Structure 1
Amino acid sequence: MGCSCYFSIHVCLFLLCEGKCILGHYADTSDSRASTSLPGFGNLTQGYNRYLRPKFGGEPVVIAMSLDIASISSISESDMDYTATIYLRQRWTDPRLVFQGNKSFTLDARLVNYLWVPDTYIVESKKSFLHEVTAENRLIRLFSNGTVLYALRITTTVACNMDLSKYPLDTQTCKLQMESWGYDENDLLYTWLRGNDSVHGLENLRLSQYTVEHYYSLVTMSHQETGNYPRLVLQFELKRNILYFILETYVPSTLLVILSWVSFWITLDSVPARTCIGVTTVLSMTTLMMGSRNTVTKTNGFIKAIDVYLGICFTFIFGALVEYAVAHYIASQKASTNEVTRETEDVTSIFSTSVTSYNQKINFSAIDNLAHSGSTMKPKDKIRFLLKNKMRRVVSYFTIQNPGNIEHYSRLLFPLCFLVVNLFYWVYYLFF
């Protein structure tokens, strides 16, 4: 059934039914320039069936794709996904749509329902929608050689598996993957239109927490139970901006650690001052840790880099509080011992002469007894005796005689250990 075809500037209506074309002629006869005749376009959809792909039963259809990333509105660590708005463009050749001439025609988006289009879908997409303001954001353009350009504006939320073990010093790799839902490699092939230059927009994105480091496109094959499906992959790396976290978390936690060291320069007798500093820094550090955990979901099992650093800071702050407790306890014990010693000094001075002579006798007798017992002592008893003496020497070596030495050593050891731990922390998480 032949059809005479005329294009009108005002109206062009396609109706496809059972492979036949009924093209309504609706032209403005008042202006001859408003109507244009296109030779050969009358049989454009003669025998066209939108339910069958081009070259049905023959070689696969090649879909050339390009896309623009308009925006990435959010990247969620808790849900492990990102939301992006993209302009998706697909090109393929349909021999059934060849017409004479060298022009191209943009059709109304509603005519997509009467043409065959590939069933492309976004892999790992959680939810997607096509923009419809003020009309459906779709484009169909036909070229004389049968090439079809099909463009869409889509907003999609795609899953992105993130490794948060180095958060916030991390770099995440996310993917945007597209493939056919029903056509396998025997029916349809995907390719990038211009290789890595087929993707635009990523280099101009400005994100709140991330910077796009690198991106590249590739073609892979998805092996499913129903067949092998060609897949287009856009992979991009997102490096987190650490300056915010340095000012928000790292600097305050470091200052709290330094504040806890102030107590080392306060005398042991100032119990309220030192206790207040220790307790305040511990509580402030606890609040800072809780606030940091609220920024990332609590449901994941990651031990993040920021958790490690806050744990280190909390350990040093708590250690400073424990140091004061130990030093104060030893000082109080020594003070009580000195008081007892002073009370007995007067009594001891009265009987000093008799006691001295008596001790000499006891010492000589003890030496004689030890020599006599040593000759008769069993080997096991000798070993026990030697071990006890060594243990007493070891205990006396680690016994702190002067509590002031604790304060002196703490002033040096705490800052030195904190610097060493920080060095290992930053080297590990930034370079490994």
Structure 2
Amino acid sequence: MNYSLHLAFVCLSLFTERMCIQGNQFNVEVGRSDKLSLPGFENLTAGYNKFLRPNFGGEPVQIALTLDIASISSISESNMDYTATIYLRQRWMDQRLVFEGNKSFTLDARLVEFLWVPDTYIVESKKSFLHEVTVGNRLIRLFSNGTVLYALRITTTVACNMDLSKYPMDTQTCKLQLESWGYDGNDVEFTWLRGNDSVRGLEHLRLAQYTIERYFTLVTRSQQETGNYTRLVLQFELRRNVLYFILETYVPSTFLVVLSWVSFWISLDSVPARTCIGVTTVLSMTTLMIGSRTSLPNTNCFIKAIDVYLGICFSFVFGALLEYAVAHYSSLQQMAAKDRQKICYLYAA
């Protein structure tokens, strides 16, 4: 019995030791797999430090950007913002990643964690996210001369200050601004790769309420407390399509004004007819005014062009009803005066 227990203990000790050795080997292999090793150029990343930018301590890194606008899903006058899906592509030179040959290599997007990438962010962005279906929508491509291409697919909601004083016959100017979060102009310089041709997709977009009139790119400077930063600006103009508002608001309100004037051709003695027309047109105009304002609930503090137009129409409609009230009252007074004159003539006779 003691011999059996002793044998079982020895076997268990050997099995445990073997498992520990295999576990240590597995940990070593996992630790090695965390390092960036590319077949064919294993020495490419020897001594590479992803926490230091290219040319650290020297000339600033030149980062060239291009944009593809995939869609502009919504433009909100209430929140004064727009939501767009963009393909952001950045190119820069990193001499530490030069390798022999004239080929390029597209790497798994997860390897971006092992490379230095610029800390680009979208100025005035309210919320943004990187698409993750089916994997993170990122691309890393290395070229033999050390050029790195880094592409992202992003959906972002960006603030756009709108002037609604001419609504709905207005034209809005919105911006998409890109800037480095931490690197100032001494470390990173942003440029558009091909000027205005660096932006594509806007000319093909079809929006529900707007038409994109024109767009252009700018390179400006942003002076902040932490330094002087390069800022890339895409500025585009949106002209509102007014046909919907003509059919929905302007034509009905015009017809209501004309309808209120019909009462002028109705006899003063037809009290029900003229009163019905006047009250109906006033109530209908009130409904139109409320509907036009509830479509933009957070902008009621602005006096818009459509408010002025509907206000004038309401004045005409209400004036027609008020005119009948004054005319009817004046007619009754004249009839009463005539009756008094007849009575006076009778007494005098």
The answer to whether TM tops 0.5 is: yes
Deviations 1:187-215 (A, max 9, x none): 00000000000000000000000000010
1:295 Cα deviation from its structure 2 partner: 0.7
Does 1:88 find its partner at 2:99?
no
The answer as to whether partners of 2:104 and 2:142 remain within 8 angstroms in 1 is yes
Distance 2:136 2:344 in 1: 101
1:14 Cα deviation from its structure 2 partner: 6.2
The answer as to whether partners of 2:293 and 2:300 remain within 8 angstroms in 1 is no
In the TM superposition, 1:78-157 aligns within 5 A as 78-157=78-157
Distance 1:42 1:260 in 2: 86
Does 1:211 find its partner at 2:211?
yes
Q: Aligned residue for 2:50? A: 50
How big is the alpha-carbon RMSD for the aligned residues of Structure 1 and Structure 2? 1.3
Deviations 1:346-384 (A, max 9, x none): 343x4xxxxxxxxxxxxxxxxxxxxxxxxxxxxxxxxxx
Deviations 1:13-71 (A, max 9, x none): 9643xxxx6x387xxxxxxxxxxxx4xx2321111000000000000000000010000
The answer as to whether partners of 2:221 and 2:228 remain within 8 angstroms in 1 is yes
> TM-score normalized by structure 2?
0.89
1:344 Cα deviation from its structure 2 partner: 1.9
Runs (4+) off by over 4 Å = none
Q: Which runs of 5+ in 1 are unaligned?
A: 1-12, 26-37, 351-432
Does 1:346 find its partner at 2:346?
yes
Distance 1:318 1:326 in 2: 12
In the TM superposition, 1:322-341 aligns within 5 A as 322-341=322-341
In the TM superposition, 1:29-428 aligns within 5 A as 38=40, 41-348=41-348, 350=349
Q: Which structure's relative contact order is higher, taking Cα pairs within 8 Å and 6+ residues apart?
A: 2
Distance 1:300 1:114, change over 3 A: farther
Distance 2:157 2:182 in 1: 22
Q: Which amino acid aligns with 1:92?
A: W
Distance 2:306 2:298 in 1: 14
1:309 Cα deviation from its structure 2 partner: 0.7
Deviations 1:55-91 (A, max 9, x none): 0000000000001000000000000000000000000
Q: Which amino acid aligns with 2:256?
A: L
The answer as to whether partners of 2:83 and 2:156 remain within 8 angstroms in 1 is yes
Deviations 1:301-330 (A, max 9, x none): 211111111101000000001111111111
Name the SS for the 2:165 alignment partner: helix
Deviations 1:86-108 (A, max 9, x none): 00000000000000110000000
Distance 1:256 1:186 in 2: 65
Q: Which amino acid aligns with 2:273?
A: A
Distance 2:149 2:295 in 1: 44
The answer as to whether partners of 2:166 and 2:304 remain within 8 angstroms in 1 is yes
**Identity within the alignment, %:** 76
Distance 1:289 1:69 in 2: 37
> TM-score normalized by structure 1?
0.72
Distance 1:197 1:294 in 2: 40
Q: Aligned residue for 1:390? A: none
Name the SS for the 2:150 alignment partner: strand
Distance 1:49 1:346 in 2: 118
Q: Which runs of 5+ in 2 are unaligned?
A: 1-31
Distance 1:135 1:236 in 2: 32
> Rg larger in 1 or in 2?
1
Distance 2:168 2:238 in 1: 12
The answer as to whether partners of 1:77 and 1:297 remain within 8 angstroms in 2 is no
The count of aligned residue pairs is 318
The answer as to whether partners of 1:130 and 1:152 remain within 8 angstroms in 2 is yes
Q: Aligned residue for 2:14? A: none
The answer as to whether partners of 2:79 and 2:298 remain within 8 angstroms in 1 is no
The answer as to whether partners of 2:173 and 2:236 remain within 8 angstroms in 1 is yes
Q: Which amino acid aligns with 1:320?
A: A
1:343 Cα deviation from its structure 2 partner: 1.7
Distance 2:252 2:223 in 1: 51
The answer as to whether partners of 1:85 and 1:153 remain within 8 angstroms in 2 is yes
In the TM superposition, 1:8-19 aligns within 5 A as 15-16=34-35
The answer as to whether partners of 1:14 and 1:111 remain within 8 angstroms in 2 is no
Q: Aligned residue for 2:5? A: none
Distance 1:247 1:299, change over 3 A: closer
